[in-house]
Structure 1
């Protein structure tokens, strides 16, 4: 509960983050014609639509189901990560019951607003390993390897290094040649360094887990000090809305229309499928309206809603569409299948040592919280700038177990446990086998992370699976576009994923037993220090959920491998319908996804421009 001091300063103006004076969003797109219609104004949609509108001779409309934010502190101030109220710029979707776990459904938060998930995510900025992107190229997508993507990763960011006095891993030593210097997103570090960060890296060193000063060149696994999408001066979130929309809000050829949910794509079927426009509505009971496209319709609604729109529009797996009475315009079994996510479990071993304050003190020490708030609003320094920890670990199997080879061998012969939608679909089965071979080959490399350990410097050691073999689905169950699709992530259905997460939990136990962490006094209220693998398994099955990295449901793959889009992101069987969001990933990279999403969208924009 906020004290009076905090309550008074919460409304303080964040000077350089104040809204620009500009034209209001218009609500008159209905009946109009634009060169490009972009569906979804999150990270991918704003990147692509803003870049296309750089050509003043074309007109661009971006339609967003959510609202335009009001520069709330809950978005801009790092302290509020994880504290936003329910439904705050978010869809409120739940999965189907996860019978392979504990039979319960899980909330899967997704951003809903101009800026999408970048409004509410944890601000972490990393790309993953080079080989994960080279694998995209190797499964049939020419021009999508690391070297092809790196210029676009750089194009999206303005990177500002930082020196922390006495830091065990110094971000100032990072490699400037892999960072951008003039991109829209501000990428930097908090103006505060939690002293426990050194304990974290010392613990990793005790266990023989190496650390890297430059995680974003994609060459190593181990301990990292990661940057954030944070303004280095104002210490505010640098999200997609403030990076790719506000600076160009005055463009007369670019219109963002919020509170407008697209309900289906419209086609001329006389010559293959030509998207002529989209239908949208301001609410479930509102009348449907139409806007037309001269050149292309571009889906950027995310890995859950882009496949929903394709299916509602007659593009998808026949066995899903026909029972709903939807005319199948293009049978693409890959739509809504191949769902991948980094399954994550929250684990707390709260530090009890009174020597050092940590993020838990925000809630239990009013004086510390008020002083931190005053420091933040007064000078943009202090603990409130550093709510998300930058000190994490992405270990490889080789770094944490002597059984890596036997684990990988067992994984290759284990039951796939694929969704029922893969039955009688040879392209989906072939695509999965190709992906599995690629992932297992990567994981044999000591530089490829198998899991992530999200240290919060207060005893929180959350774990996430980086290279899953489990596959899920998302499909419509109704022709009503306002009915939530059936989302089934199917975390841990492949035994290898379960084994990796148990190993990760055991690595936690080793970390807690290092001298560096024992000094901080970890507690074992929730997880016994000597918990067996079976006991850890019970905790895992009841606790695992999402890391918010939904992807791969409109995969960029060859048709014979279950692909939905080709290497120029055109939906198979259409002339001018593309997808540009995280759904096009063939395999989820071992990283947080926002930096990847920005880079992929930058490349997508150039692909579309080249076709003009």
Structure 2
């Protein structure tokens, strides 16, 4: 069937005699290079606690020196279902279908800001490769101002320009098909990416639905700035690639990029199915090792607990959920909480488990009565189109089935989102710094939040930070997100059972400005749908519903519709001075102890306005350099 019958795929891609279909090695093969607990050495130079995304990056870099030994301890297992990666005949449908067995079984406490939502989902990966194994593969970065604000919180070396080399070290761009790029004005700047040695591939699919052109044009008619490269200027409107290799159309992630190529190193050991119980400290508060226990064995039985020593450094990469949990179990955290749990206090560090942030997500829904054709529904309503798409995928993994969750969107600054933006910023600054914080926050955490809030108020006042994420992919609905919410939550050890999963309180929408931003988001989408480009599709609002017009109605709808997070949890071991509630310094070493650092997304003091995967790669790459430089 001629490709030009269905817009959005170039004729050059229909034959594709030279397309490489060299699929990755069988995922099961890397099991052979795992170790058992009995095979683990008594000591290593470095112990990496957590074999998720950041843990595999750091282990790769530390083991580059063959004279240094590295142990990675991971609670989850290697996922060897080819469909997770998209290998062989499979499409990487894992982008939109998260498997519960690859996630921790954790829910949040009741959330008053979400109308008392019970058992709100806590998305945290329990699998080798972590979030990069299960996420939607949207590998976008935050705006430069996001990282510059990290640096302004007394963290020299962490501005965007200083992190850029680590973003580039991690990722390389597989160029899009030039005909498709010209047709849809997919622009990029190679200066944002690394070279062929960068482990993670990002690419664009070989097809886009024509309705995207209306959506992009409508955004431009709204005055939203079109960026050439979102990886350098992640605010306004831009195209972004996905974490897939163009050659194989398979997930490019920490396992394929950082672990599989080096798994055979004799100095690198991966132990899965084991939990790190505690970090062990000597009398001088130096971290000397960890206690580990096989998953599913009884707590408190000394026969199943083993200690492994670290000669140089222990790096925590257990994520926003378990990095603070391990610290608290080890006696590093809020003294009152630790005493209540019966844990001897090594260092009173109130910031451990505080400052929790995520992106509350909520949906806008519209029906297009005169939709462009073909469109995403055509896969279900047009048998000829669906057969054409299936044939392309079977022949050379191109066409509509190469799409995942989308490649274009808008990150809207507050002055473009809301006409009353000045009043909103004034309301932020008029709040008492502790008014909406958890009751457990003490003076240093309040001081730290005050510093954060001032930076956010300034960012809210300009055009360099998007307060709303609004992705689109030719469909009439999408999940939007509040990108820089003012509410803060906690991750705290269960005081009745320290080895149970921690108690998570997102505290979502506690600050009234956050649901107001959601209300303004729906109003913005209505104006977008009223642009000439979008009116050509005859949009009809389905949710939240055209009858809801007042702030009160839309805020109430947001509290009912939003979820507490999108799997972007962060910031629970924040990089800041102790006087501002920080847990680590700019060198990522934990305050008050030695021989212990953190190298995952929990060190971010402020959440970035992006899916967090790209940021995790950059943080981990820099963490590895910091560890190597001092040891």
What is the TM-score of this pair, normalised by structure 1?
A: 0.92
What is the CA deviation profile of residues 486-543 of structure 1, one whole-angstrom value per residue up to 9, with x for unaligned ones? 1111111112212211111111111222232233343433332352133322321112
1:152-551 to 2 correspondences below 5 Å? 152-162=166-176, 163-165=178-180, 170-171=185-186, 173-181=187-195, 182-218=197-233, 221-268=235-282, 270-285=283-298, 287-353=304-370, 355-362=372-379, 369=386, 371-415=388-432, 416-422=435-441, 425-478=442-495, 480=497, 482-532=499-549, 533-545=551-563, 546-551=565-570
In 1, the alpha carbon distance for the partners of 2:378 and 2:35 equals 44
Instruction: Give 1:366 deviation, angstroms.
Output: 7.0
Instruction: Give 1:51 deviation, angstroms.
Output: 0.4
Instruction: Give 1:336 deviation, angstroms.
Output: 0.4
What is the CA deviation profile of residues 372-394 of structure 1, one whole-angstrom value per residue up to 9, with x for unaligned ones? 34422321101111121111110
Quick check: 1:578 aligned with 2:587?
Answer: no
In 1, the alpha carbon distance for the partners of 2:184 and 2:425 equals 31
**Does structure 2 retain, via aligned residues, the 8 Å contact 1:169–1:201?**
no
2:93 aligns with: 80
Query: Relative to structure 1, is the Cα distance of residues 161 and 31 closer, same or farther in structure 2, using a 3 angstrom cutoff?
Result: closer
What is the CA deviation profile of residues 149-187 of structure 1, one whole-angstrom value per residue up to 9, with x for unaligned ones? 01000000111232353757533x322222111300001
In 1, the alpha carbon distance for the partners of 2:518 and 2:526 equals 13
Instruction: Give 1:369 deviation, angstroms.
Output: 5.0
What is the CA deviation profile of residues 60-96 of structure 1, one whole-angstrom value per residue up to 9, with x for unaligned ones? 0111111101142134366514553641411132111
Q: Name structure 1 gaps, 5 residues minimum.
A: 1-12
In 1, the alpha carbon distance for the partners of 2:96 and 2:383 equals 16
1:17-96 to 2 correspondences below 5 Å? 17-19=24-26, 21=29, 23-27=32-36, 28-30=38-40, 32-76=42-86, 80-81=93-94, 83-84=96-97, 86-96=99-109
Please say which of residues 157-166 and 135-144 is displaced more in the overlay: 157-166
2:14 aligns with: none
1:4 aligns with: none
In 2, the alpha carbon distance for the partners of 1:515 and 1:598 equals 40
Quick check: 1:556 aligned with 2:575?
Answer: yes
**Does structure 1 retain, via aligned residues, the 8 Å contact 2:210–2:372?**
no
In 1, the alpha carbon distance for the partners of 2:590 and 2:320 equals 14
**Does structure 1 retain, via aligned residues, the 8 Å contact 2:124–2:321?**
no
**Does structure 1 retain, via aligned residues, the 8 Å contact 2:95–2:404?**
no
| SS of equivalent residue, structure 2 residue 353 | coil
Instruction: Give 1:477 deviation, angstroms.
Output: 1.2
Quick check: 1:98 aligned with 2:108?
Answer: no
**Does structure 2 retain, via aligned residues, the 8 Å contact 1:344–1:464?**
yes
**Does structure 1 retain, via aligned residues, the 8 Å contact 2:21–2:247?**
no
Instruction: Give 1:112 deviation, angstroms.
Output: 1.4
Match of 2:129 among 115, 120, 127: 115
**Does structure 1 retain, via aligned residues, the 8 Å contact 2:287–2:314?**
no
Match of 1:125 among 139, 143, 154: 139
| SS of equivalent residue, structure 1 residue 499 | helix
In 2, the alpha carbon distance for the partners of 1:169 and 1:493 equals 41
In 2, the alpha carbon distance for the partners of 1:50 and 1:380 equals 31
In 2, the alpha carbon distance for the partners of 1:586 and 1:461 equals 28
| SS of equivalent residue, structure 2 residue 555 | helix
Instruction: Give 1:348 deviation, angstroms.
Output: 2.4
**Does structure 1 retain, via aligned residues, the 8 Å contact 2:48–2:315?**
yes
| SS of equivalent residue, structure 2 residue 150 | helix
Instruction: Give 1:344 deviation, angstroms.
Output: 1.1
| SS of equivalent residue, structure 2 residue 589 | coil
Instruction: Give 1:602 deviation, angstroms.
Output: 0.3
In 1, the alpha carbon distance for the partners of 2:594 and 2:308 equals 18
What is the CA deviation profile of residues 79-131 of structure 1, one whole-angstrom value per residue up to 9, with x for unaligned ones? 51455364141113211111122111311222111111111111111111112
**Number of aligned residues:** 595
| SS of equivalent residue, structure 1 residue 234 | coil
Please say which of residues 60-69 and 359-368 is displaced more in the overlay: 359-368
Instruction: Give 1:352 deviation, angstroms.
Output: 4.5
In 2, the alpha carbon distance for the partners of 1:120 and 1:352 equals 34
Query: Relative to structure 1, is the Cα distance of residues 385 and 555 closer, same or farther in structure 2, using a 3 angstrom cutoff?
Result: same
In 2, the alpha carbon distance for the partners of 1:238 and 1:491 equals 32
Query: Relative to structure 1, is the Cα distance of residues 363 and 116 closer, same or farther in structure 2, using a 3 angstrom cutoff?
Result: farther
What is the TM-score of this pair, normalised by structure 2?
A: 0.90
2:9 aligns with: none
In 2, the alpha carbon distance for the partners of 1:80 and 1:518 equals 32
What is the CA deviation profile of residues 561-581 of structure 1, one whole-angstrom value per residue up to 9, with x for unaligned ones? 001011111111111011111
